[in-house]
Structures are given as C-alpha cells and as structure tokens.
Amino acid sequence: LKTVAALALGGAIGLSAVPGHAQDKKTYTVALIPGLTTDAFYITMRKGAQAAADALGVTLVFQGAPEFNPVLQVPVLDATIARKPDAILIAPTDTTQLVEPLRRASEAGIAVITVDTFIGEGKYQTGAGNADFPVSYIASDNVLGGRMAARALATAIGEGGGKVYVSNVKPGISTTDQREAGFKAELAENFPAITVLETQYNENDANRAASQLQAVYARNSDLKGVFGANLFSALGAGNGVSQAGQSGNVKVVAFDAPGSIVDNIKSGLVDAAIAQHPAEIGYYGVMSAYAHLTGQSVPVSIGTGFTVIDKTNITDPNVVKYVYSE
Ligand code: T6T
C-alpha cells in the first residue's frame, strides 16, 4: 500500500517528468569497433570502455573484424549502423577509406567518435565539411610517441650511432604514419649520427616483420637498431633479431606493451616499450559519447598518456598496470 501511495504521490507532483529521474533514464547503446578484435591493445581498450559503460548504465557492444583492414571493417560498420546504436566509437583502419562509410553513420543520426586512429586530418568539428563530422578524437599523441621511441632507441644504441629502420604496418593508418614521422623527425633534429634505412611494411603480420628484419640485417651487418611501430611490428622485429642471433647487438624499441613484449624486455631482447594507455582511451570514449548524448559539450580531442617501460621499472606496480590485457 505504501508503494502505491508513493507512486500516486510521485505522479501527482510530476516526479516522472524530472530530468534524470530513474524512471526516465534512457539506456544508451554505444558500439565500439576496434581496428581488429584479436589485438591486446583493443582488448584493453574494451575493458576501459566497459568500466565506463558499467558506471553510466550504458550498453556497450563490441564488434570488429579479425584483421586490421578497411575492406573487412566497413561491412562490420555497415552492420552496426543498421542496428542504430546511439553512438559509435571506432578505430578507423584507413584515413580515407572510412570517411564515406562513417559519414553514413553520422547522417543516420549516430554520434561518431574516433578512438586510437582518425579519419581525414584528424581535425574535427571545424566546419570544413570534409572529414570533420566526428564529435571527438580520443587517442595517444602518436607523433610524440614516435619521438619518444627515437630517444629510447638512440639511448640504447649509444654514442656511435649507426643504421636503424622502422618496421611498420602499411601507409594510410594515422597512428603508425604519425609514429614513423615523429621517430624520423626526432632523429633528424637531435641524433645526426643515426641513419634511417627504408621502412619495411609488414601488413600487421609479425612473421613478415621477422623475415624483413633478417633480410635487412643480411644486407646491413652493421644494423644497430629497429623501431617496431606497433604491437605486431615490434613483436616480429624482436623475433627477427633473436632468429638472426643478434639479441643485444641490434637494439629494439617497441610501440605497445603486451605481456610478450614485457617478457622480451626481461630477457634483454627488447630495450624499451612505449606503452599506450588503451583502457584510458576506451573509458573516455564512452564517457565522451555519454556526455554528448546527454547534451553536454565534449572536447574535440582528448590526448591520453604513455608509459615508457624498460628493465629499470619493469616490476614497479605503477608501470605493470599499463601492461595490456590479453
Ligand atoms: O598500436 C596499436 C594501435 O594504436 C594502432 O593504431 C594499430 O596497432 C595497434 O593496435 C597494436 O597492434
């Protein structure tokens, strides 16, 4: 009886019309589309996104392709648009090929936020009308990350300098393009004793990156170092160094920090890893989507942090917490 009376009273004073009152709260659905599903970076991003979704009462849907490839990602995006979520968080796998597919989402009234990678030039909400329609871009500063990798590799190589190269995925991916640009700019500006050989593209295939390392080493027995510009590039390049019997002689700096890279730091194969904070990207992705959907304004870009991991800090709990989940 008490409940009935309370309900009647609530109705009488119009409680159900109070914004934010429990009875009225809409459950938003946010879809997270990673670059690929089986990558510790995006698995960790999903965890952060889920933490924010749980805190806000948002339904999070995670749907992606098995490879980092726009030809596979666009159908996943189209299927997601058909399900009409309130917002899409996506790591676009190509700066140009995802523009029109994402425009379709935006024109269908779905808020688009890009996480990790961007489309166009990554400058959103400018009024330019090109690829500026996403609400926000939430990611690491990848140019800075590339510069950090260059400094770490130069330190590992030491005074004498010498030849290095970048093991990279393929051109057209905003993150890895920017890391390579930052890496090269830092070396050109501050480490003239280091020469950068031609970039080797591995299509996100660690085995190919390992073979390429051995081929580059076969042509350059004075190779001093390699920068693996993402998780698979770094894993493969490290394996290549090991297979060439050059562990410790050819220095390796990795972008990304799955458990396997941490093991390679412990064994001395890898000198340093630039760990991104993918959980932070996922968390603020969902928070930003929710803010936008509930009428708050959202920063047009949010920069997340890095942690440099090497053998001096590898057991520090404040560092270990940034090792990616598998
Ligand atoms: O390095 C990350 C991500 O930032 C990049 O855009 C693609 O590769 C990773 O997912 C690692 O494999």
Give per-residue pLDDT as tens, 93-115: 999 999 999 999 999 999 999 99
- Neighbouring residues of 179: CB distance < 8 A, sequence distance ≥ 6: 142, 143, 145, 146, 149, 168, 229, 230, 255
Q: Is the distance from the beta carbon of residue 45 to the nearest atom of ligand 1 less than 6 Å?
A: no
Angle subtended by helix axes 206-219 and 231-243, to nearest 10: 50
Report pLDDT digits (tens) over 52-81. Answer: 999 999 999 999 999 999 999 999 999 999
pLDDT per residue over 110-145, tens digit each? 999 999 999 999 999 999 999 999 999 999 999 999
CA distance 191 to 201: 24
Give the pLDDT of residue 24: 66
- Predicted pLDDT at 268: 96
Residue 203 vs residue 10, higher pLDDT = 203
pTM: 0.92
Burial (CB count within 10 angstroms: exposed 0-12, middle 13-18, buried 19+), residue 155: middle
Q: What gap in Å lies between CA 283 and CA 46, rounded to an integer? A: 8
Of the candidate ranges 7-11, 54-58, 227-231, the one whose mean pLDDT is the lowest: 7-11
Provide the CB-side half-sphere exposure for 135 (13 A, CA). 27
The confidence band for 22, taking pLDDT boundaries of 50, 70 and 90, is low
Nearest-CA residue for atom 11 of ligand 1: 231
By most ligand atoms within 8 Å of CB, the mutation choice from 231, 260, 306 for ligand 1 is 231
Ligand 1 atom nearest residue 173's Cα: 6
Residue nearest to ligand 1 atom 12, measured at CA: 231
* Residue 231: per-residue pLDDT: 98
What are phi and psi for residue 240, nearest 5 degrees?
-60, -40
- Give whole-number Cα distances, 190 to 85, 135, 224, in Å: 47, 36, 17
Q: Once rounded to an integer, what is the mean pLDDT over residues 40-47?
A: 98
Counting residues of the chain whose pLDDT is more than 90, the rounded percentage is 92
- pLDDT band for 11, please (50, 70, 90 cuts): very low
Mean pLDDT throughout 16-36? 77
pLDDT (mean) for 149-155 = 98
Q: What 3-state DSSP class applies to 50?
A: helix
CA of 139 to the centre of ligand 1 (A): 11
Mean predicted confidence (pLDDT) in 38-61: 98
* Amino acid letter, residue 217: Y
Burial of 148 by CB count in 10 Å (0-12 exposed, 13-18 middle, 19+ buried)? buried
Among the atoms of ligand 1, which is closest to the Cα of residue 230? Answer: 1
* Count of beta carbons in the 10 Å neighbourhood of residue 45: 31
Confidence of residue 25 (pLDDT cuts 50, 70, 90): confident
**Model confidence at 20: pLDDT above 60:** no
Sorted by sequence, the CB contacts under 8 Å of residue 62 that are 6+ apart come out as 31, 32, 34, 37, 46, 49
pLDDT at 3 over 60: no
Q: Which of 256, 261, 276, 324 to mutate to test the pocket of ligand 1 (most atoms within 8 A of CB)?
A: 256
What ligand 1 atom has the least distance to the C-alpha of 36? 10
Q: Which atom of ligand 1 is nearest to the CA of 34?
A: 10
- Is the confidence at residue 325, as pLDDT, over 50? yes
* CA 20–ligand 1 middle distance (angstroms): 38
In the reported structure, the alpha carbon of residue 231 is separated from the centroid of ligand 1 by a whole-number distance in angstroms of 6
Q: Is 72 helix (H, G, I), strand (E, B) or coil?
A: helix
Average pLDDT, the chain: 94
How remote is the CA of residue 65 from the centroid of ligand 1, in Å? Answer: 14
Report helix angle 40-56 to 278-293, nearest 10: 40
**39 CB less than 6 Å from ligand 1?**
yes
Per the model's pLDDT, the better-predicted residue between 164 and 12 turns out to be 164
Query: How does residue 281 score in pLDDT terms, banded at 50, 70 and 90?
Result: very high
Distance CA 325, CA 242 (A): 25
Q: Tell me how far the alpha carbon of residue 294 lies from the centroid of ligand 1, in angstroms.
A: 30
What is the Cβ-side half-sphere exposure of residue 202, based on CA atoms within 13 angstroms?
26
State which ligand 1 atom lies nearest to the alpha carbon of 232. Answer: 12
Which ligand 1 atom lies nearest to the CA of residue 117?
A: 6
Rg, Å, the chain Cα set: 23
Mean pLDDT score, 194-205 = 98
Q: How confident is the model at residue 7 (pLDDT cuts 50, 70, 90)?
A: very low
Report the 10 Å Cβ neighbour count for 195.
Answer: 15
**Ligand 1 centroid to residue 285 C-alpha, Å:** 16
* Structure token pair of residue 174: 């905003």
Average of per-residue pLDDT across 32-60: 98
